[in-house]
Structure 1
Amino acid sequence: MTGWMHHLIIAPILLPLAAAALLLFIDERQRVAKAMISLASTLLLVGISLILFRIETSPNDFDGVYLLGNWAAPFGIVLVLDGLSALMLLLTTLLAIAALIYSLARWHTVGAHFHTMFQLLLMGVNGAFLTGDLFNLFVFFEVMLAASYGLLLHGSGPLRVKAGMHYIAVNLAAALLFLIGVSLIYGTTGTLNMADLAARIPDIEPDRLMLMEAGAGVLGIAFLIKAGMWPLCFWLPTAYSAASAPVAGIFAILSKLGIYVILRLTMLLFGEGPSAGFGSSVLLYGGIATLIFGTIGVLASQALGRLAGFSVLVSSGTLLMVLGINDGAISSGALLYLVSSTLTISAFFMLIELVERGQDAGANVLAVTMEAYGDAEEDEQEEGDGVTMPGTMAILGTCFAACGILLSGLPPLSGFVAKFAMLSAMMGTGAIGVPPTAAVWTLIVLVILSGVAALISMTRAGIRTFWSSIEGTVPRVLVIEIVPVMFLLALTLLLTVRAEPAMQYMDTTIRTLSNPAIYIDAVRNTPVDGGQADAAGAGGEAN
């Protein structure tokens, strides 16, 4: 990566920051101008992310290190682009453009500074994916959280405000734990650069190593709260279901930010050496509990928003279990599952508002009552009196069915491909003469049961909504609202068609992560530009 393309690494941070600053100077009444600036910035982000994604990162050519201020690591701020961060950047920007276009129908006008907070959220998330040191990870994490507070409360309403207050309290506690963990790590190792930290861990004395691991454990709790691991996840379904549709759509990536950081630090700091396997049992058993809790929540949910919220927990639980098992072949399929489930859940959150637009409040509760006790006033329908489904309902029904297929992991879409890749890797150990462990068998059973639970819940909700709707009214849906949902679902179809190259990319990414020396050497040995180096050398001679 040479020339101007190398500077694109910092663009996903600077571009939304500049857009957010510009939007602050524009009056709220100029909504069209603010929307166009935000849309142009996000579209440009998509283009930049596509370019960065297409830059091949191989174990023998790791050149995605960007030194801010031209100071060598670990003394300066460093950004690192590898296969994993490029994948997460692209996923974030695709969700962002879909959520932003959806919001232009009406949601961006129901409160102040929506576009500013949206751009700051993108800046924080992108920065967290790119940063190479823990302190700046904390900075970007705080920027992301501050923007998410405002976005969750956007549109007001008592339910949204109540859920927002709980969300703020929980995430402020997570931020405090983050700061404590970072302080402990710095106090024992003297560095916060991830590559430098990984290189120093083998030489730490045993007593200081215990304190460093304690700091890493506290830091891990902060991100497990964000990832939604049980029992730290009770806030998530309520908060996500209370958010406006486009906000919930972009929030689908936030839980995956927690998964990303845990994966990055686990593979880099605790993949080998004296602390190898640190925290794996917590991830394994926590993932089992989260997956069970999410599956029960999916089955118990009557409201579609709650069902989507618990689907986030099912996704997080599955990924945490895979991280706890720490098997490369399973992790490759899990990365594909991460992408597929995030796209699906984001589309589902936005689809829910369109589906429920034609229903009265409490319609789901009334439907459950009618299922249990029947409808005494129901008239028998005469033969031949069928009702024609309007085009809007047909499109919504098709999208709803696609979400159900993806969440349950049925063929032929990417949800099935991802789960099949994981399950085949789990069972593949038996083919080479090594029987799957009890943890692997547990994951196999839970993944299958969670898919069955999603199928039952989505089928039940679909029947109530499209086949036996109490109101029988057709919701008014704008093209600008349904297109983002169809766009995200089309991406899952593309992921299905291009499953082979997608899995090859995931395999390469996991192999690179499994060899921390590649990351460490690239960051620590990246040279500064000649001008800064000459100046530093001249200063040293003068002294």
Structure 2
Amino acid sequence: MTGWTHHLIIAPILIPLIAAAILLFVNERQRVTKAMISLVATIILVGVAITLFEIENRSNGFEGVYLLGNWAAPFGIVLVLDGLSALMLLLTAVVAIAALVFSLARWHGVGAHFHTMFQLLLMGVNGAFLTGDLFNLFVFFEVMLAASYGLLLHGSGPLRVKAGLHYIAVNLAAALLFLIGVSLIYGTAGTLNMADLAARIPQIEEDRRMLMEAGAAVLGIAFLIKAGMWPLCFWLPTAYSAASAPVAGVFAILSKLGIYIILRLTMLLFGEGPSAGFGATFLVFGGIATLIFGIIGVLASQALGRVAGFSVLVSSGTLLMVLGINDGAVSSGALLYLVSSTLTISAFFMLIELVERGQDAGAAVLAVTMEAFGEGEEGEPEPEEGVTMPGTMAILGTCFAACAILLSGLPPLSGFIAKFAMLSAMMGTGAIGVPPTAAVWTLSILVILSGLAALISMTRAGIRTFWTSIEGTVPRVLVIEIVPVMFLLALTLVLTLRAGPAMHYMDTTIRTLSNPSIYIDAVTNAAVMPGVGNRSGTEGK
């Protein structure tokens, strides 16, 4: 990247930061003004994310390093753009614009500083995806957490406050572990720059390397809490289901932040050398436990919000197992699965509010009781004529069916393509004479069972909601609410139609991650800009 496009790397951080600062000076009663500022900033952010993604896609590999303050690494702060970070920036932007538009119908006005916290959340998430330094990762992580606390509590209510307090306590513990892990790593390696750290690890003495690995393990636990690995995940379904619909929709990306950091650090720091494969077994068994727990939760849940919350755990468990197996072809399919599942779960969280708006909670409980005891199935007169489904219910039912297909991994949508890519890669080892390992067989079986559990749960909920509901009120749905849901589901259709190019991008990204020297060389050899104050000790190239 050269010229003005090089400065676009810092734009995903600056845009929401500037927008949040401006919003603080706008009175809360001027809701339309605040909404327009936030919306314009997010639209610009989407445009920047698309531009960076296209630049990275055309480069077919590693693209850019941005030296803040024109200080050379490892002494200065660096932002790094590669295939993985560009993908996550784009995914965050599209989920954010959908959630923000959905919130404009009503949610943005039920509490103070919604748009400010929303923009600060985007700043923290984007910064975490771009940073090449562990300390600045901690800074962006804290900004993201602070904003998420306020967003989860947005709208008040006893259930939301209770879930929010649990969420705050757990994530404060995660932040403390993060700081302890970073301190241990810095004490043993003498650097927090990721590229410099990866270069130094092979030269660390054995006794000090053990302490460094202990620090990496503590750091990993902090992100496994955010990713929702069992048994660190009990807070997640309750917190996500208690959040307002647009907040839960944008929170779908937060668990993937934990997955991203684990993938980044595992491939970069422990992909080669004496510490190669560090933590892989732990990720495999943790992923198995998380996936099983998520499957049981999906089957046991009656409320749709809980189903969506446990679907997040199913997604996390699948991705953690793939990280532990560490197979390039499987990882490529897992990246596609990450994108598809995030779009689906985000759309599903927002759809749930629209679907449940026309239902009464007591009627839903009664419907479950009637289903369990078989009441109302016999002796009822059959209607002579069919009842025409209102247009609103038809649209909601279609979106619900699309979410069910995507979560279940049924053809023809992107959920099926992603799972098929993972399963075919795992079973493909048998075709070349190498029998699949026990971990591969376990993941294959659990992936299939997770799809079956999602199909059973979503079918059961769909029948109660759209076919045999004893509460026949048609919900009032605004266009501004249903369009974001349809937008995210349409993106999964685009991902289906463009599965070939998408898988090519994922393959290229995984190949780049599998070669840490590309990342290390790009960061350490990044030249300062001549004539802007040379702070590297040498002339820029």
CA distance change for structure 1 residues 492 and 196 in 2, over 3 Å: closer, same or farther? same
Q: Is the 8 A contact 2:528 2:535 kept in 1?
A: no
- Secondary structure at the aligned position of 1:62 is classed as coil
The CA deviation at 1:384 is 2.5
Partner of 2:70: 70
1:2-401 correspondence runs (5 A): 2-56=2-56, 62-375=62-375, 380-401=380-401
Give the letter for the 2:483 counterpart: V
Give the letter for the 1:29 counterpart: R
- Secondary structure at the aligned position of 1:66 is classed as strand
Cα distance between partner residues in 1 of 2:319 and 2:357: 33
Partner of 2:465: 465
Moved more, 525-534 or 140-149: 525-534
Cα distance between partner residues in 2 of 1:285 and 1:189: 29
Partner of 1:409: 409
Q: Is the 8 A contact 2:238 2:309 kept in 1?
A: yes
Q: Is the 8 A contact 1:290 1:317 kept in 2?
A: yes
CA distance change for structure 1 residues 93 and 61 in 2, over 3 Å: closer, same or farther? closer
Cα distance between partner residues in 1 of 2:164 and 2:492: 31
Cα distance between partner residues in 2 of 1:538 and 1:202: 27
CA distance change for structure 1 residues 387 and 437 in 2, over 3 Å: closer, same or farther? same
Deviations 1:37-78 (A, max 9, x none): 000000000000000000136888634100000000000000
Say whether residues 1:429 and 2:429 are aligned partners: yes
Cα distance between partner residues in 1 of 2:506 and 2:95: 20
CA distance change for structure 1 residues 536 and 462 in 2, over 3 Å: closer, same or farther? closer
Give the letter for the 2:95 counterpart: L
The CA deviation at 1:470 is 1.2
Give the letter for the 1:11 counterpart: A
Moved more, 350-359 or 364-373: 364-373
CA distance change for structure 1 residues 194 and 300 in 2, over 3 Å: closer, same or farther? same
Cα distance between partner residues in 1 of 2:495 and 2:299: 28
Cα distance between partner residues in 2 of 1:509 and 1:383: 57
Q: Is the 8 A contact 1:291 1:313 kept in 2?
A: yes
The CA deviation at 1:367 is 1.1
Deviations 1:81-119 (A, max 9, x none): 000000000000000000000000000000000000000
Give the letter for the 2:445 counterpart: V
**Aligned residues: percent identity?**
86
CA distance change for structure 1 residues 537 and 385 in 2, over 3 Å: closer, same or farther? closer
Give the letter for the 1:391 counterpart: G
Cα distance between partner residues in 1 of 2:225 and 2:98: 26
The CA deviation at 1:376 is 5.5
Give the letter for the 2:476 counterpart: R
- Secondary structure at the aligned position of 2:56 is classed as coil
Say whether residues 1:498 and 2:498 are aligned partners: yes
Give the letter for the 1:500 counterpart: G
Q: Structure 1, unaligned stretches of length 5 or more?
A: none
Q: TM-score, with normalisation over the residues of structure 2?
A: 0.98
Cα distance between partner residues in 2 of 1:535 and 1:250: 39
CA distance change for structure 1 residues 444 and 157 in 2, over 3 Å: closer, same or farther? same
Cα distance between partner residues in 2 of 1:534 and 1:463: 67
Give the letter for the 1:289 counterpart: A
Cα distance between partner residues in 2 of 1:218 and 1:238: 25
Partner of 2:529: 529
Cα distance between partner residues in 1 of 2:204 and 2:58: 31
The CA deviation at 1:386 is 1.5
Q: How many residues align?
A: 539
**Aligned Cα RMSD in Å?**
1.5
Give the letter for the 1:153 counterpart: L
Give the letter for the 2:2 counterpart: T
- Secondary structure at the aligned position of 1:474 is classed as coil
Cα distance between partner residues in 2 of 1:459 and 1:374: 18
Q: Is the 8 A contact 2:71 2:535 kept in 1?
A: no
Cα distance between partner residues in 1 of 2:193 and 2:239: 33
The CA deviation at 1:387 is 1.1
Give the letter for the 2:62 counterpart: F
The CA deviation at 1:382 is 3.7
Cα distance between partner residues in 1 of 2:468 and 2:441: 39
- Secondary structure at the aligned position of 2:404 is classed as helix
Cα distance between partner residues in 2 of 1:336 and 1:201: 31
Deviations 1:261-294 (A, max 9, x none): 0000000000010100000001000000000000
Give the letter for the 2:349 counterpart: F
- Secondary structure at the aligned position of 2:147 is classed as helix
Give the letter for the 2:281 counterpart: S
Cα distance between partner residues in 2 of 1:236 and 1:494: 30
Q: Is the 8 A contact 2:62 2:83 kept in 1?
A: no
Q: TM-score, with normalisation over the residues of structure 1?
A: 0.97
CA distance change for structure 1 residues 467 and 252 in 2, over 3 Å: closer, same or farther? same
Cα distance between partner residues in 2 of 1:50 and 1:325: 31
Cα distance between partner residues in 2 of 1:99 and 1:535: 42
CA distance change for structure 1 residues 96 and 376 in 2, over 3 Å: closer, same or farther? closer
Cα distance between partner residues in 2 of 1:392 and 1:61: 45
Q: Is the 8 A contact 2:181 2:215 kept in 1?
A: yes
Partner of 2:512: 512
The CA deviation at 1:531 is 2.1
The CA deviation at 1:372 is 2.0
Cα distance between partner residues in 2 of 1:396 and 1:228: 29
Say whether residues 1:474 and 2:480 are aligned partners: no
CA distance change for structure 1 residues 536 and 487 in 2, over 3 Å: closer, same or farther? closer
CA distance change for structure 1 residues 244 and 287 in 2, over 3 Å: closer, same or farther? same
Deviations 1:310-354 (A, max 9, x none): 000000000000000000000000000000000000000000000
Cα distance between partner residues in 1 of 2:537 and 2:79: 24
- Secondary structure at the aligned position of 1:531 is classed as coil
CA distance change for structure 1 residues 232 and 479 in 2, over 3 Å: closer, same or farther? same
- Secondary structure at the aligned position of 2:319 is classed as helix
Q: Is the 8 A contact 1:77 1:133 kept in 2?
A: yes
Cα distance between partner residues in 1 of 2:453 and 2:363: 22
- Secondary structure at the aligned position of 2:520 is classed as helix
The CA deviation at 1:239 is 0.1
Q: Is the 8 A contact 1:59 1:512 kept in 2?
A: no
Cα distance between partner residues in 2 of 1:306 and 1:533: 55
